[in-house]
Structure 1
Amino acid sequence: MGHGYFAHCRSRLFFAVIILLGVAGCAEFDYSADRAARESRSSAPSAKTGEYVVQKGDTLYAIAWSNNLDFKELARWNNITSPDRIRVGDRLRLTAPPGGAGEPASASASVRATPLGGQIGWQWPLQGQILQAYNANAVGKRGILIRGDQNAQVRAAAGGNVVYSGDGLRGYGNLIIIKHDDRFLTAYGYNEQLLVAEGDQVEAGQPVALIGGNARHPNSVHFEIRNLGKPVNPTDYLP
């Protein structure tokens, strides 16, 4: 066998090693769109610096979601009168301005004193087994992972307005966020296909996506409930 054969073998071995290293280094969620979004935003300021530079495709709700903030507070801190009035390149502060610009204590206490879940009639977004329970101490996403049947429809846990539909939030893949009232938002991640667009009004139980998942957990959906911007245990609200 000549040098050409051994060179060919070494070349194939080299690329095999590269592929294996790439697989080993992949995050749990590996949609190509999710990787592209992560790479494009890797240099954007975050909560660590106290501000965020608006990127193409961002919405106020998505920025608030990514930083565990109440979208109303984020808007107030940045003097935003309408959620759609943000532009690429805008620098948004992620903390209250000096002197405080939060809600008066009495108003905040009044909101939080309402019954758990408010007047919302919650329902499960998917019937199936809970693969991962809620962990309040988890780093990153805090919700539950539900396994369903192949090609199952993911349904709105309550009626509301779709405020995000896309794949730009790191670690969520194809994601839907629904605003139910001034307190509650829900998110549905790891979808194969999105069935609703931003601005759509949806009813409780309406299909919003087709189930996706990842290599580790196929046919699953990541589901979150946020109360005033903070993650809560969905099973405390679902029937």
Structure 2
Amino acid sequence: MRMFRSGMWGVLALVAALVLSACSNKGRLAPVDDHSVSATRGAARVLPGSENAGKPGYYTVKPGDTLIRIGMDHGQSGRDIARWNKLENPNLIETGQVLRVLPPGPDAPVTKPTSSASGTNAPPMPSAPATPTPPAANAAPAGAEDTISFQWPARGNLISGFDESKNKGLDIGGKVGDPVMAAADGRVVYAGAGLRGYGNLIILKHNNTYLTAYAHNQTLLVKEDQVIKRGQKIAEMGNSDADQVKLHFEIRRQGKPVDPAKYLSAN
């Protein structure tokens, strides 16, 4: 009987020890050796076009970029860039993605200036000899692909002049509804409000060298791909995305903002 009781106490002691051991390990999980997770993190995803990074005619997308902005900065239509890169959704581009920003084929320019150095002198085209002589006032610089006669896009007081670092064009004052005219013959490559800071915006492409931009409009009167004549009314002045009624007007030579006052005719 005593042996039975002794054995029974031994069993109870063993059970108690097991219970205490289980309680002391409660909440502790065995480490998981997940090689698949490590492998996934270690393998960087290859972004579209990465093999072209750094090549002439290509651009690596930065945070905050849009096709409209990229096109404007490279003298191209955002729609053309989407087509050249076979983008199914032009609104979906990724930081680090590399995009073709010059047209494919033998007619594409060999190089394109990308310098943001100060100064208002437009860089010469690759096919034209470089010249340090600044352009004469009220005339387009020599050496351009085509000589274009630009007219003033609106009648009003000049609020702000060109400053490459602060104001990439001219600000012309007026009243709501005042006409905004095309500065030269061209084609509408953008009409909308998708570029922050510009409000209702129209971008015209005049040739492979020049774009003009017309911002802060109240009403847009043209559509993308529409062919426009010099002096044609394309919009009505407003204050969209601006602190006052004005037209912000830019001339871009191969995507680089230049001083419109040096290109506009005197009349």
Q: TM-score, normalised by structure 1?
A: 0.61
RMSD, matched Cα: 3.7
Query: Highest CA radius of gyration, 1 or 2?
Result: 2
- Kindly tell me: are residues 238 and 70 of structure 1, through their superposed partners in 2, closer, same or farther at Cα, counting changes over 3 Å? same
Deviation at residue 84 of structure 1 after TM alignment: 8.9
For the Cα contact (< 8 Å) 1:155–1:209, is it kept in 2?
Answer: yes
3-state DSSP class of the match of 1:213? coil
Which residue is equivalent to 1:25?
none
3-state DSSP class of the match of 1:64? helix
- Kindly tell me: are residues 122 and 133 of structure 1, through their superposed partners in 2, closer, same or farther at Cα, counting changes over 3 Å? same
1:186 to 192, 209, 212: 212
Letter in 2 for 1:225: I
Which residue is equivalent to 1:115?
142
Runs of 5+ consecutive residues of structure 1 not aligned to the other structure:
1-48
3-state DSSP class of the match of 2:110? coil
Report the count of equivalent residues.
Answer: 175
Which residue is equivalent to 2:186?
160
Which residue is equivalent to 1:3?
none
1:232 aligned to 2:258? yes
Letter in 2 for 1:115: A
Which residues of 2 match residues 94-113 of structure 1 at below 5 A? 103=110, 108-110=126-128
Which residues of 2 match residues 179-218 of structure 1 at below 5 A? 179-213=205-239, 217-218=243-244
Among all aligned residue pairs of Structure 1 and Structure 2, give the percentage whose two residues are the same amino acid: 33
Q: Distance in 2 between matches of 1:235 and 1:211?
A: 20
Q: Residue deviations 1:20-54, cap 9 Å, x none? A: xxxxxxxxxxxxxxxxxxxxxxxxxxxxx931599
1:87 aligned to 2:88? yes
Q: Distance in 2 between matches of 1:70 and 1:236?
A: 19
Q: Residue deviations 1:99-129, cap 9 Å, x none? A: xx97259971428777266421210000111
Deviation at residue 148 of structure 1 after TM alignment: 2.0
Q: Distance in 2 between matches of 1:215 and 1:161?
A: 24
Which residue is equivalent to 1:12?
none
1:71 aligned to 2:112? no
In terms of fraction of residues, the more helix-rich structure is 1
Letter in 2 for 1:155: M
Q: Distance in 2 between matches of 1:225 and 1:110?
A: 20
Q: Distance in 2 between matches of 1:94 and 1:82?
A: 11
3-state DSSP class of the match of 1:108? coil
For the Cα contact (< 8 Å) 2:125–2:143, is it kept in 1?
Answer: no
